[in-house]
Amino acid sequence: MAVVGVDGGNTKTLAVVADESGRLLGLARGGPSDLYSAPTPQAAVDEIYRVMDEALEAAGTRRGELAAAALSLAGADWEEDFALHRAAAAAALRGVPVEIVNDAIGPIRCVGRDGPAAALMCGTGAAIGARGAEGQVWSLGFTPRSGSAHGLGREALSAVQEEDMGCGPPTTLTRRLVEALGVREPRDIVREFSRRDGLRDVAALAPHVFAAAEEDGDEVAVAIVELVGYRMGCWTRHAADRVGIEGGFRLLVGGGLLSLAGSERMTAAALAELPEAQPVPLRAEPVFGAVLLALDLAGATVDEEALLAQHPALLS
C-alpha cells in the first residue's frame, strides 16, 4: 500500500510517497503551485500532478495504485479554490480517497492527530491556520496586509521610498538595498519592484530587513520586524478563536523565513500575542504533515516520530 502527500506553495511543490509503515518510497520537487501566483490556475494544477507523478515514478507505483492522497496547498483559500482542486483530483486520481487542505493546515498534523493546535508558518507568504479540539479547521488565506517575507519586503520598500520623499525617518535600509540591488539611488530600488519587465519578488528583501535591524540597530527596520511579527501573532490568535480554542494549545512554528539570521525578533513579537501557546518548532518539511494526513485517510498507523525524523534529511 502506498500513499502520497503533496505540499504546494508559492516557491516550491514537494511530493512524497510512503508505504503503510511510513517508509519513504519516492519524492519529487517542483515549482510553485499556488493558484494565485502561478501563470494560470491550470498551470498550478498541472504542476501539482507533474510533481506527484515524478514522485510516484521514483516509488515504482502509479496513481491508480494509491490507497490515499493528501494535498496541502497554498492558494486553497476560498470554496471556489477547493472546488477547482476537488474537480482536478477527481479526474486525476479516480477512485483514490483524497483530502485537500490549505497549506497552513497540513503542517499541523506534524504535532499530532488530535487536540487543539495552530500553525504559524513564515515563508515567502504567511500560512496561518488552526485545528480545534473536535478536529474542526480554519485557515486565514488572503490578507490585504502582507505578512512573512512579503510583509517585511513591502514595509521596507515603503520606508525607503518615504525617506527619499522626505516623508519618513532615515534608515540604513536605503544604503543596504542600493548596494544589494546594484542601483544608483532610492528611486531605482522602487523601480526594481514595480517595473513591467523583470519584476523582482519583494520577499527577497526580507534578509536585508533582518540585517538592518540586528547589525545596524536601525530603528525603522526594528519597527518593521516587530510590526510583521505582531501581525502574524494576531492572525494566529484569530485562527485559534475561529475554531474555539480556549486555554493552552500547541503552536507549530516554522517556515524558511524563520531559519534566517535575525528572525528571532519577529518570532518573539508574534509569540507575545499568543501567551497561552506552547511553541513547537517544525523540524520536518511541511509535506510530511500531508503524508500523515494521507496515512490517516488510508487507515494506517505509523510511528510518527520515526517518520518525521527519518525524512527531512533526504529532502535537503
pLDDT at residue 126, rounded to an integer: 93
Cell digits for 252? Answer: 507549530
Please check the confidence at residue 149 and state whether its pLDDT lies above 50: yes
pLDDT digits 0-9 by tens, 250-298 = 999 999 999 999 999 999 999 999 999 999 999 888 999 999 999 999 9
Mean pLDDT of the chain: 94
Average pLDDT rounded to a whole number, residues 39-62: 97
pLDDT at residue 284, rounded to an integer: 85
Q: Does domain 2-103+286-315 have CATH number 3.30.420.40?
A: yes
pLDDT digits 0-9 by tens, 115-125 = 999 999 999 88
pLDDT at residue 258, rounded to an integer: 95
Average pLDDT rounded to a whole number, residues 140-158: 95
pLDDT digits 0-9 by tens, 186-195 = 999 999 999 8
Topology alike, domains 2-103+286-315 and 116-282: yes
Beta strands 117-122; 249-254: pairing state: parallel
CB 205 within 8 A of CB 153: yes
**Residue 225: which residues within 8 A CB-CB, separation 6 or more?**
152, 209, 210, 213, 262, 265, 266, 269
pLDDT at residue 313, rounded to an integer: 45
For residues 4 and 2, give the distance between their C-alpha atoms in angstroms, rounded to a whole number.
7
pLDDT at residue 104, rounded to an integer: 96
Confidence of residue 43 (pLDDT cuts 50, 70, 90): very high
66: helix, coil or strand?
strand
String of DSSP letters for 101-143: EETTTGGGGGG-SSS-EEEEEESSSEEEEEE-TTS-EEE----
**Residue 230: which residues within 8 A CB-CB, separation 6 or more?**
269, 270, 272, 273
Cell digits for 23? Answer: 517508509
CATH superfamily of 116-282: ATPase, nucleotide binding domain (3.30.420.40)
Please check the confidence at residue 10 and state whether its pLDDT lies above 50: yes
Share of the chain above pLDDT 90, in %: 88
Average pLDDT rounded to a whole number, residues 297-303: 94
Please check the confidence at residue 312 and state whether its pLDDT lies above 70: no
Which tops the pLDDT comparison, 308 or 73? 73
Q: What amino acid occupies position 68?
A: A
* CA-based end-to-end distance of the chain: 26
pLDDT digits 0-9 by tens, 64-100 = 999 999 999 999 999 999 999 999 999 999 999 999 9
For the chain, the structural domain boundaries read: 2-103+286-315, 116-282
